[in-house]
Homo-oligomer: A and B are copies of this chain.
Amino acid sequence: MNTQELYEKYKTKMHRIADVRNANAVLQWDQETYLPPKGAAFRGQQISTLSEISHKLFSEEELGDALQELLSKDDLSAEQKRNVELTFEDYTKNKKYTSAFVRALSDQTNKAFHAWIESRKQNAFAVYEPELDKLIQLKKEEAQILGFEQHPYNALLDEFEKGCTVNLLDKTFSDLLPRLKELLQRIASQPQVNDSFLQQNFSKKEQWDWGMHLIKQLQFDFEAGRQDMSEHPFSISFNKYDVRITTRIDENDFSNMTWSCIHETGHALYEQGLPEELYGLPLGEACSYSIHESQSRLWENNVGRSKKFWQHYYPQLQNYFPDQFKETSLELFYKGINKVQPSLIRTEADEITYHFHVYIRYELEKRLIEGSLSAKDIPAFWNEHYRNLMNVEVPDDKKGCLQDVHWSHGSFGYFPTYSLGSFYAAQFFKTAELQLKDLNNEIAEGNTANLLQWLRTNIHNKGRFYTSEELCKAVTGQTLDVIYFIDYLLDKYTSIYTL
């Protein structure tokens, strides 16, 4: 078999694996959107079976042999070579897991997910604890299976962000948090802005229509995706021509939906911008979780909470909700949607205190995986740190440690990518501003086509060719530096709070 024939064989195998994984993603999407309640148990079983099958397919010796042989070839294109290298990395990692472990993890994840749902209904962490505890044991086992240096949590962090470590995150947070605290204090000494206009009655139907309008304007391709409702907004992709996002609507709180729509659209635009011909191959996949999050946050915050953005969209919003917004000027609206105030719920947090939420989860996960804390200690740790760090009292578990779905998905090591995403977003957006001279005027005119094109060219089209850090350097000329994020915050809040 010559090199190109061998490469084709490898591609066919990867397509089959991608088909199974994406089929499983359809089952998951359906589980969160349309699954009737009694169908949950069998659905969990179906998802476990597909997980096991995709794991088996990706462990086949024949694939390993083909990869080994391809690695020794010198007539692959740079793109082909990179695909093979990354696949071999993934393959080697995947081979560490046994089928039994994959199934056990999938089954336990399913149990934990349903226990989490039930515990939220009862507003009692104790309902969740036994299943979560078993899942944590499996994640500790996983860290051992994967292997690590220095800290077992590093093995799990690496799953979401290659090369990310406890050392690195400790340093990042210890650089960042004092500066955020200082900024927070300066803001606290100024008069608070008013956002009461966001808590009025906004009908579900009209919010839905408004959200769909906005998403369309942001160039979400509805021929290649859709939006539905779910309890927790998320985005998921089955291929670049079928990217789905969800939202939720609170009739008494406008702030819930709009920015979740923009956020998930940011994720979706990335997926819809991946190269088609690379379906199932690493270069047809997103770079990393943090870069994915940089796209959602860039659209949600750097664009979607900017004054220029609302210069264009606020009159439209006022047309959708004339009664609710007739008394509120653009200036007051802009200030209100950027109100800074320590609070209980991560997804509703402002752009500063958001990172305290992440930090608490990070510190907690580190301890759970190293074993210095266990599931039963979560509520006390959680509540104490919310009190110490943000001076907020957690009234119950639902508003505390039961608020996020991530652990019940087995996602330990995920949260830090949210903060990294904000930092990358600030650095990318600054670079875009420098390179697209007219960017801010365009945004003020509701024209984000050039910005999207810039993201497509510099980020989306690259797939996984670069690591996060390499990509950051290729796009911005330097590796990640939180100073961009801090400057962005200073600039924004100095004006809003007249600091």
* A positions within 8 Å CB-CB of B: 15-16, 19-20, 22-24, 26-27, 30, 34-39, 41-43, 45-46, 48-50, 52-53, 221-226, 228, 238-239, 241-242, 279
A43 partner residues in chain B, CB cutoff 8 A: 238, 242
9 nearest interchain CB pairs? A39-B242, A19-B49, A38-B241, A42-B239, A38-B224, A19-B46, A39-B241, A38-B223, A23-B46
Contact B226 A42 (CB under 8 A): no
Contact B224 A34 (CB under 8 A): no
**Nearest CB in chain B: distance from A399 CB, A:** 28
**Nearest CB in chain B: distance from A265 CB, A:** 15
Given A37-B223, A222-B36: A242 and B42 within 8 A (CB)? Answer: yes
A50 partner residues in chain B, CB cutoff 8 A: 19-20, 23
Given A224-B36, A225-B36, A242-B35: A23 and B19 within 8 A (CB)? Answer: no
Judged by DSSP, the binding face of A is helix
Identify the closest chain B residue to A41 (Cβ).
B241
Q: What are 20 A-to-B residue pairs whose CB atoms are below 8 Å?
A: A15-B49, A16-B52, A19-B46, A19-B49, A23-B23, A23-B24, A23-B27, A26-B30, A30-B30, A34-B226, A34-B228, A36-B223, A37-B223, A39-B241, A42-B241, A42-B242, A42-B279, A43-B238, A43-B242, A46-B238
A238 partner residues in chain B, CB cutoff 8 A: 39, 42-43, 46
**Nearest CB in chain B: distance from A446 CB, A:** 24
Identify the closest chain B residue to A52 (Cβ).
B16
Given A23-B23, A23-B27, A23-B50: A224 and B39 within 8 A (CB)? Answer: yes
Partner of A242, one of B36, B53, B279: B36
Identify the closest chain B residue to A225 (Cβ).
B36
18 A-B pairs besides A19-B50, A42-B242 with CB distance below 8 A are A16-B52, A20-B49, A20-B53, A23-B23, A23-B46, A23-B50, A26-B26, A26-B27, A35-B242, A36-B222, A39-B239, A39-B241, A39-B242, A42-B238, A42-B239, A42-B279, A43-B238, A53-B53
Most interface-central of A19, A46, A52 (chain B CB within 10 A): A46
